[in-house]
């Protein structure tokens, strides 16, 4: 485990870059509209491969060696349960380009064109919609544990931390779209859309910073191994409940499996290269 100041700076930097990925997603939503579903599915499938490999081939085995299997799986389950509660009470936002069409379909059946126009103008004058704000708040809450996960993983090893950061960046890009699209639709302001995407994304480095300041003096080997087990649980749940189902909506089972395996193989080769060729140990 590397508790050096330089490693912590790198960890916080990666969480900051991850937060900026929401701005990238928001910008893509403003410039290009709905993302290509197949490309999005392939990216999320690859991300799930990266996350599950890190969780079960790296974090869990090392935690089991450090604190034993009973404690490892106990904290793994606690991570799953804790993040499940977050996802249950604060549903994660989704970007679906068909929502606008569905909304227009309903509007044609109710009221006159003038009434609909008046309602739309009134909504635009009142700034971001409740849906857009709820999306930003929901993503902010989801970003807090993800920022902590990247921070802890970097202490575990920069190779693992960097790989997890890249996977989370890919994951949050469509979430940035989920924030920016409804806000821009309701306000007509690109600044408002980007602002809320940025504020939500910055919860990732804030979570890592608060965790680092509050618990840096209490990160004993046992606590860190327990936290990594919980992080593995969070990553596994995120894959099973979010990434893989979304991937399967856009790709066939075979295509989703291949993208997942490609992600796992990529992280395996990356970690092997860093450790054996560059000589960087965990």
Q: Compute how many other C-beta atoms are within 10 angstroms of the C-beta atom of residue 21.
A: 22
Burial, 277: exposed, middle or buried (Cβ in 10 Å; 0-12, 13-18, 19+)? exposed
Global pTM reads 0.61
pLDDT tens sequence across 171-189: 777 777 767 766 776 677 7
Selected residue with higher pLDDT from 271 and 112 = 271
- Would residue 186 count as lying in a domain? yes
* Model pLDDT for residues 108-164, shown as the tens digit of each residue: 444 544 444 554 454 444 444 555 565 566 567 667 777 887 888 887 777 777 877
Quick check: is 234 in a domain? yes
**Does 100 reside within a domain?**
no
Task: Report residue 183 as tokens.
Answer: 């806000």
Examine residue 115 and state whether it is found in any structural domain, yes or no: no
Q: What is the three-class DSSP state of 127?
A: coil
How many domains does the chain fold into? 1
Q: What's the rounded Cα separation, in Å, for the pair 26 and 20?
A: 10
Is 108 among the domain residues? no
Burial class (CB in 10 A: 0-12, 13-18, 19+), 181: buried
Residue 43: inside a domain: no
pLDDT for 194-235, tens place per residue? 888 898 889 889 888 888 777 767 767 788 788 888 888 988
CA separation for the pair 91, 75 (Å, rounded): 23
In a domain, 42, yes or no: no
- DSSP class of 109: T
Residue keyed to tokens 């890190």? 54
| Dist. CA 82–CA 76, nearest whole Å | 10
Range of the domain at 71: 5-29+48-90+128-278
Q: How many CB atoms lie within 10 A of CB 30?
A: 16
Chain segment 230-240, per-residue pLDDT in tens: 888 988 888 88
Give me the torsion for CA of 199, 205, 206, 208, rounded to 10°. Answer: 150
Q: How far, in Å, CA of 204 to CA of 202, rounded?
A: 5
- 235 part of a folded domain: yes
């Amino acid at each position: 485990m590397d508790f050096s100041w330089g490693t912590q700076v790198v960890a916080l930097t990666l969480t900051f870059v991850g937060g900026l990925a929401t701005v990238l997603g928001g910008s893509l939503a403003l410039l290009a509209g709905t993302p290509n579903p197949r490309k999005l599915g392939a990216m999320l499938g690859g991300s799930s491969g990266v996350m599950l490999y890190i969780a079960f081939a790296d974090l869990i085995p090392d935690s089991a060696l450090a604190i034993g299997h009973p404690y490892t799986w106990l904290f793994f389950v606690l991570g799953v349960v804790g993040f499940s509660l977050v996802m249950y009470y604060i549903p994660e936002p989704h970007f679906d380009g068909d929502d606008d069409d569905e909304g227009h379909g309903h509007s044609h059946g109710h009221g006159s064109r003038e009434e609909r126009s008046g309602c739309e103008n009134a909504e635009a004058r009142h700034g971001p919609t409740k849906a857009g704000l709820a999306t930003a708040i929901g993503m902010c809450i989801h970003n807090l544990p993800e920022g902590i996960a990247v921070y802890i993983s970097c202490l575990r090893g920069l190779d693992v931390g960097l790989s997890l950061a890249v996977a989370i960046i890919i994951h949050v890009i469509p979430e940035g779209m989920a924030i920016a699209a409804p806000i821009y639709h309701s306000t007509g302001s690109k600044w408002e859309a980007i602002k809320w995407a940025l504020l939500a994304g910055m919860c990732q480095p804030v979570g890592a910073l608060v965790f680092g300041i509050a618990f840096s003096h209490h990160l004993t080997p046992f606590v860190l191994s327990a936290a990594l087990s919980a992080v593995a649980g969070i990553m596994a749940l995120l894959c099973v409940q979010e990434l893989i189902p979304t991937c399967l909506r856009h790709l066939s089972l075979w295509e989703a499996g291949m993208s997942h395996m490609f992600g796992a193989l990529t992280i395996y080769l990356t970690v092997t290269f860093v450790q054996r060729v560059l000589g960087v140990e965990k």
